[in-house]
Amino acid sequence: MEKKNPDLCKVDNTLHILIGKWKPLIIMHLMFGGTKRFSDLQRALTGITTKTLTTQLRELEEQEIILRVVYPVVPPRVEYSITEYGMTLQPVLHLMHEWGNAHLERQLNKDQSTFNNNQ
Amino acid sequence: MEKKNPDLCKVDNTLHILIGKWKPLIIMHLMFGGTKRFSDLQRALTGITTKTLTTQLRELEEQEIILRVVYPVVPPRVEYSITEYGMTLQPVLHLMHEWGNAHLERQLNKDQSTFNNNQ
DNA sequence: CAGAATCCCTCGTGATACTG
DNA sequence: CAGTATCACGAGGGATTCTG
């Protein structure tokens, strides 16, 4: 019973956190796969470069979605994990996942009917 | 009870629709404000250029989130409205709005405590 | 009125090489 | 191992001008 005024739209605040080619995947990995090291993540996200992984992780850390823990050992050991606050994103991501999945199937059906029409 | 595998993450499908500097606002305007003409939207979205508005509208139309109706009159009259399918985004946007709003307040509180600590 | 056309510039991401 | 440092490039969006 509010939000009549689109100028008060706060969707962009959430979008800003999620925008980044690998961010949703990173969050999902830490959210469901638990704590992971830098190299674990890089292995999981096939194709990502160290530079890009670093910046995406730093941005998520800055937003307090993930936690970065550095162990002062040689060789270096850095562990990333989801924060309690980051976990609050779960319902949002879940819904986006559901809608995205439905959207994908819709696209496939459309292609299918196009295919049939062209027979 | 599924979605254990982040590789199956479909969040990006939803993100893809929403990404675009003005898209959430455009959707909200049509979703809650009803049918609008091109110039109405341009007036509502202060700062957007005709070029950008055009491309964002075309992309949303291509995804069938909005409908574009051209009336063959002089001067031209084009009306944009949300589709039934576009309306299915409402729960998603609502949740993103809620989370974004909470996130914003969290940021403000953080700044506030920083302010206090610096006193 | 509702764009189309053009030019321009920033930003995100990738490729590659190097380091404590 | 976990990055940092450079270079490069394509895409998204803005400014401006023009048109049926």
Best residue in A1, A7, A8, A11 for a mutation probing chain B (most B CBs within 10 Å)? A11
- Report the distance from CA of residue B52 to the C1' of nucleotide C7 in Å, as an integer: 15
Best residue in A9, A41, A98 for a mutation probing chain B (most B CBs within 10 Å)? A9
**pLDDT at site B1:** 39
pLDDT digits (tens, 9 = 90+) for A44-80: 999 999 999 999 999 999 999 999 999 999 999 999 9
Find and give the residue nearest to D15, measured CA to C1': B49
* More confident: B6 or B3: B6
Asked whether the CA dihedral B114, B115, B116, B119 is positive or negative, the reply is positive
Answer whether residue B3 shows pLDDT above 50: no
Q: b/e for B2-35, b at 16 or more Cβ within 10 A?
A: eeeebeebbbbbbbebbebebbbbbbbbbbebee
Across all strands, nucleotide nearest B70 (CA–C1'): C2
Answer whether residue A27 shows pLDDT above 50: yes
pLDDT average, residue stretch B48-60: 98
Distance to chain B for A74, nearest Cα, Å = 31
pLDDT digits (tens, 9 = 90+) for B10-41: 999 999 999 999 999 999 999 999 999 999 99
pLDDT average, residue stretch B37-61: 97
Q: Which residues of A touch B93 (CB under 8 A)?
A: 11
Answer whether residue B8 shows pLDDT above 90: no
d(CA A27, CA A87): 9
How many C-beta neighbours within 10 Å does residue B91 have? 12
Best residue in A12, A19, A63 for a mutation probing chain B (most B CBs within 10 Å)? A12
**pLDDT at site B6:** 59
Cβ separation B100–A33 shorter than 8 A: no
| Cα distances (Å, whole numbers) of residue A28 to A36, A110, B35, B80, B81 | 12, 29, 37, 36, 34
Instruction: Report residue B112's pLDDT band, with 50, 70 and 90 as the boundaries.
Output: confident
- Report the distance from CA of residue B17 to the C1' of nucleotide D13 in Å, as an integer: 17
**pLDDT at site B2:** 42
A51 is near strand C: CB distance < 7 Å: yes
**pLDDT at site A61:** 98
pLDDT average, residue stretch A73-100: 97
Closest CA to A31 of A20, A44, A50: A44
Range with the lowest mean pLDDT among A65-69, A104-108, B113-117? B113-117
Range with the lowest mean pLDDT among B3-7, B92-96, B111-115? B3-7
d(CA B101, CA B82): 24
Which residues are CB-contacts of B36 (< 8 A; sequence separation ≥ 6)? B29, B30, B44, B79, B80, B81
Range with the lowest mean pLDDT among A67-76, B57-66, B110-119? B110-119
Distance to chain B for A118, nearest Cα, Å = 20
| Cα distances (Å, whole numbers) of residue A84 to A6, A64, B75, B95 | 30, 9, 56, 18
pLDDT average, residue stretch A11-26: 98
Residues from B contacting A (CB-CB < 8 Å) are 3-4, 6, 9-15, 17-19, 24-25, 28-29, 32-33, 44, 85, 88-89, 91-104, 106
Joined together, the tokens standing for residue B48 give 């957007």
Cβ separation A12–B24 shorter than 8 A: yes
